[in-house]
A and B are shown apart, each in its own frame.
Chain A
């Protein structure tokens, strides 16, 4: 029976994968063709979605941007045997966008049936956990430390050190919490892992739990990902049924289980202490640090809070060795980063690669420039709290430290491309407005500062005391940056300041014509 892959990834569904699936099933039935449908995740070649793949003796042949109306002609062209068709992209694994990547965390995403544990194992799943049980908790932490893996949520804190801190903290119980509150605009890597290879997250959390001596884990998933919740629920059930979770994980004697929790639309709950409050059933108000969650976390117990990508990378690190992972990347940014190329861009998608590509290579060579065909004017890196970077800085290599040098951040690896129609004063205003909407309200600089920021930018745009108000805005940014409790208020000034620095003309539109006279 021919295997036909139709993704169940949310992005593929958003462009009609479900209707395409129905059309394929109907057409196959009408023609008496026996097919086996596999609902895989997305390969990450998102501009080609829905990307239908057919398994042939030569490999998997892809057909991109399939519409339901294309389905009869696909059958006519013999697509079940990989037949030629205008939508064919040939062997998916030879497509340059796929072939040039170094897939570690995303090794199986888009390739396997996400909720089939046998498929997971057949593609190398489970080896990391087996290795962990073989070498023991202390060596697991050593291996993760050796790999140089840093927290992929944005802060970039070394994962091994966090795990060791929790393991060493005396406690009656400890917790592993996955931060799956992926709220940054331009990011979807967490979602794609969870929808395309949920077992890798389950395995990573189990490895972490084993290393730190925790028997309970939580996945805190944002409510905006309903399809993702379905996949995770199916995967958790399958893992429990197969003994990968429960009182005796894979016969090791180690007990571990995972509970899925859904957020409720608060961006600030992506901040780890706010997330913990929310998980405990409270308002998602940020906690002052110290104490760190590694010492006093969920239910006041030592807790590892790691991003999805961080934990989903642990199995590969264990299976392939910390040294292998550390051999990739540049400087202090080791390993790979799943880049998310988004916004006004031609080839939007997910591209996992070692750190060190320049921003220009990512946006122009991989992303193909703007979708509108107009010149690229800005790229926002690292979500709504990240800086806008102009093309003049496109030679900046993608790594934590190089970005920091330009007062930018790589955050969670999201890149949003804007063409030259963007009004940067409006984007700066939105940065402040977003902070005002999402501020938890605990600290004054964030709560009040963001609202004052919106008002000040409005005055600048109207042409009221422009230079004085720009100075006031800069001063306000400074206060927020250094006076806020967490990254929301502390980083909200980055988009604003970068807009002021690189696009000063956008803030002076009201006064420029007068000055020219």
Chain B
């Protein structure tokens, strides 16, 4: 039987092609194969069909059909989440949203951009910069999706000031798994108002952090901010994680920085050494960069004055803090985002061989030092570099602790070694009160093992309410 005949007798494909057009739906194995894997250790799995949706109506029709036929649907834009989130656990329809990529509006006065799901960070950056506006660009590929990053609680370069990308979401339009179109936030009350989610009940939470398992976001408002012209970067090094935490906690309390981040020596290497390589004795174990933008030189100098004070206080405590000079190229990688080169995740894993995963967590900052110490033992025990990043979110209240672990994807053994090490690290963090973000299913299971039964019951009940036939990215939540 030729492939053309085979296509004709597949009723699901026929239905999908009827919705999105013949050229935008495929059941061809090689087309599905290209969606079956990502950078992570998550085992590849093929979707059964791929559809390329062009508009909201097509999203609705596909979901109505899938819900009626109880076929899984996995939303996908760029597939760069490094948590295997778009790998179809149970096959089904892979819904590629990248061609829904219009920037619908940039409202300079309201500081809001309204975008479709396929809008990439590079695309939004190109549109915002001429208007003197900015967004917190993540350290990821320029082609990654702004909305996918935001609804998955991704991070970016303005986290110390404004919080997570998800905290920048103002309003959303969403197609439910049953096909209904809903709105949350101010756009729900007045269709062209995208300024906020408050003071309404925060129903936006139904679609954030659910890993594409509660609906398909088709429009999103995000806050965008004026871009002050003067950048100053504060860079220090410390010999111990405790000393670095002390400095970051102190500096963060003054709320003068957009980003306060520290990286272990191994992560400051691009690429990360793979397998584990010992740090030279004369190199500090931690390096920190903190960015601050100012409108005037006087403002910049005032911020620098505060930073000088913090450094002096830390020195007075007898810590190992040293003011350092960062190489210009390394700083560019942190401040000239989105970046193809130094800032992109892929460059971290060059030496490993194309694989990268993480125990990426939100962890109380006071727990960074004990967790890092344990992680270091685990990772070195697996012959992997303890390439760890710590970043403050919105002041001192919580932060990101993650290890970027490269591995050789060509080798099953080396991939499994990395997976085991990462899951071990995760258990340590969970037991200290941390929580992984963008979690692969392996992580979700560990989370649920520790979850309060009432929380799990509520989670299941909400999921059932939104998705009665469990068609949306099923299996990803581990419930």
Partners in one complex: no
Chain B interface residues toward A at CB < 8 A: none
